[in-house]
A and B are shown apart, each in its own frame.
Chain A
């Protein structure tokens, strides 16, 4: 009898951190996104924020894209500190401090230090570096530790960076009628427009001043963020920053990122209305109506539908918890990084009778053969080549940062399209008419 290819995997209920999530098959082809690159991307998206990457030639070389350089458009410094053979043993403290002094002298206003694998391994103490050199510098300092051996991939890199950005904030008086839209993303491409959820337009039409904490944010805006009356969380990556700001500055947050059902969206929108003193009625009637209609259909048709979550699905455990409402059965979930909130979704799934194995898919072309043999009715996420008999809802990244009824409509429509035709329908245009 053939060995069960999933037998080595942990069940979701047993997972408490990334450590329990095993590879579906051992060979990694060809590598996975290292979180240090994500930090660079995010920092480069914030006007006025400099960074100092501390690591080996591998990290520092690859932290640079093909065309990026050492100075940003507004004079931000993107510098690299490379450890030599002695510093690998004795630490790079003095060299890093010298580098910070030089950056400060060249006018850096705020510097994010990015520690990588070897600096994490040798235990370089960035807290004490900040304690030693911070008082003499004009630049504000913060750091993130991104050693991949304990930070598996880009999600953890993103939320840890977002959280570290909170170090640049100071308490401010609350300005009523203002909110932070928390939309920090790991891979925003310069010059591509950001697709914000419909709540953004709705709030702006009601005179709410929104500080968009996304690519293009300025350092001054970031430092002013504690003056907002509310944080509107649109991605799971920013929830830890929102939680930190709640704890540090008492700013409440509306969790739109994990509000998948109509009922959850209703609740989140009511929270926004209450805190900001506005009325959102009339804004999304058609989207809401369509979402209600699709949820009713889902309750009738999706029970017992077996699925696999592959790579490239945003918040896979949260989504699985939502799909469990309709009785959809997860066979296997790729969890790139276990988020703090995922334990709660795992409990919801267990309560509904689902406790799927979880894994990291690290060799997509190889692992798809194992997934095919599980005979799922539908798969979510990336696939290199179409495979006969396998229905795949690809491009689930379309829903990154999209919230509200429009996301509910988008996800459920895609599921029905793929189940019916084997293919995705049109890409969801949230600014266009509500799909029939």
Chain B
């Protein structure tokens, strides 16, 4: 990892912890020092995972003697108390950094303790080692939880879908989820079974096999979707719909997966409305791009799927050109969207002058750029409610155009 001036890439353990935190009917017990739990709780509350929303977040503490002797009594007695007081259906177990260093085997501990608690399922997670990123942690959590909790079941009578990968670590997750649900209702009359994991319960996860289609909205969810396809035969599609045509295409792809045509009256009316709404702004952006091509460039960094989606919308459906773009995960970066560590993105952001710059709130604020163009975490604001404008879907498309127009106004 090395030297950082800004918040570093979160660890796999953090990705796992954040993914678990929003699951109702469960509790999270982190074995180890307490700071991560406390501060992550605060960060999650900032992002809208308020007290009582998802899983209560417990930790055990660990002291020098526990480390030297390899003692686990704190974990055992904490589980006993949580079972007695909270009666969760599931307890997720996770080591913090110190038990990870000394090689505490959470899977073995969970196996031993499980016999004492037949009424609750103990699910160990977090053997992500020190080499993996937040993103791989999210992937491990989504897949591990699905494997541990999904029950054998038939398909629901009423058509339902799962969203896989709506997790609290992703910027604007709440608003984006609501837009996906709105569109699925409008295009197919379908309801959500499990919004995995930002708004779901253990019961929802147990029933995930009933779903008729799995919508994977970030690549960390692909492994989970493949597992569910193999076990339940559920088709899945992967992608985040950004833009107008791309959203219609995404809905068509969903339709193909479930053997239904999207309701054209819905998609047509959405497209018509958006075309009307963005007609003039489009002309303004187009005219500006013609006269000042260097100003019509989009520079963007963040999660791979978000960057790819917004960049495609901006260059294929809007009159912008591709500027520098990068993603925040070394395991995801490729030739099209490379991974930029801090020392590569800092000069890009710091020296950015013309065009549109979308990135994390932390960096935009620090370098005095327009924070209204935030599309990635670290965040700089509270997001107590999920009703901000989305970035995905039809509503997201008009919102993104709105962002570009306001930036145009600010700079002209």
Chain A residues proximal to chain B, CB less than 8 Å: 19, 23, 25-34, 36-37, 56-62, 64, 66-67, 69-71, 79-85, 88, 95, 98-99, 102, 117-118, 121-122, 147-150, 362-363, 366
Are B64 and A30 in contact (CB-based, < 8 A)? no
Are A29 and B58 in contact (CB-based, < 8 A)? yes
**B162 at interface, CB cutoff 8 A:** no
What are 18 contact pairs spanning A and B, CB under 8 A? A26-B80, A31-B38, A31-B41, A31-B59, A34-B39, A37-B35, A58-B39, A61-B8, A70-B6, A71-B5, A80-B7, A82-B2, A82-B3, A83-B130, A118-B98, A149-B33, A149-B64, A366-B81
Residue numbers in B under 8 Å from A26 (CB-CB): 60, 74, 77-78, 80-81
Shortest Cβ distance from A64 into B: residue: B7
Are A84 and B130 in contact (CB-based, < 8 A)? yes
Are A83 and B1 in contact (CB-based, < 8 A)? yes
**B131 at interface, CB cutoff 8 A:** yes
Other-chain residue from A33, A67, A122 in contact with B101 (beta carbon distance below 8 A): A122
State whether A58 and B36 are in contact (beta carbons under 8 Å apart), knowing that A19-B63, A19-B65, A26-B78 are contacts in the complex: yes
Are A81 and B78 in contact (CB-based, < 8 A)? no
State whether A148 and B33 are in contact (beta carbons under 8 Å apart), knowing that A58-B14, A95-B2 are contacts in the complex: yes
State whether A62 and B36 are in contact (beta carbons under 8 Å apart), knowing that A79-B5, A81-B2 are contacts in the complex: yes
Other-chain residue from A31, A80, A84, A95 in contact with B36 (beta carbon distance below 8 A): A31
Inter-chain CA distance A83–B11, complex, in Å, is: 11
Are B366 and A80 in contact (CB-based, < 8 A)? no
How many residue pairs bridge A and B at CB < 8 Å? 173
Are A34 and B3 in contact (CB-based, < 8 A)? no
Residue numbers in A under 8 Å from B282 (CB-CB): none
- Within the complex, the shortest CB–CB distance from B127 to chain A, in Å, comes to 13
Other-chain residue from B3, B38, B57 in contact with A98 (beta carbon distance below 8 A): B3
Shortest Cβ distance from A69 into B: residue: B366
Residue numbers in A under 8 Å from B38 (CB-CB): 30-34
Other-chain residue from B46, B59, B131 in contact with A66 (beta carbon distance below 8 A): B46
State whether A57 and B41 are in contact (beta carbons under 8 Å apart), knowing that A79-B3, A117-B98 are contacts in the complex: no
Residue numbers in B under 8 Å from A36 (CB-CB): 35
Other-chain residue from A28, A117, A118 in contact with B59 (beta carbon distance below 8 A): A28
Residue numbers in B under 8 Å from A363 (CB-CB): 81
Other-chain residue from A23, A25, A62, A70 in contact with B35 (beta carbon distance below 8 A): A62
Shortest Cβ distance from B65 into A: residue: A19
Shortest Cβ distance from B46 into A: residue: A66
Inter-chain CA distance A260–B1, complex, in Å, is: 50
Inter-chain CA distance A365–B378, complex, in Å, is: 31
- Within the complex, the shortest CB–CB distance from B52 to chain A, in Å, comes to 11
Residue numbers in B under 8 Å from A83 (CB-CB): 1, 130
Other-chain residue from A30, A82, A88, A98 in contact with B41 (beta carbon distance below 8 A): A30
Shortest Cβ distance from B38 into A: residue: A31
State whether A117 and B40 are in contact (beta carbons under 8 Å apart), knowing that A61-B8, A66-B46 are contacts in the complex: no
Shortest Cβ distance from A53 into B: residue: B4
Contact with A along B35-72 (1 / 0, CB 8 A): 11111110100100000000011111111111100000
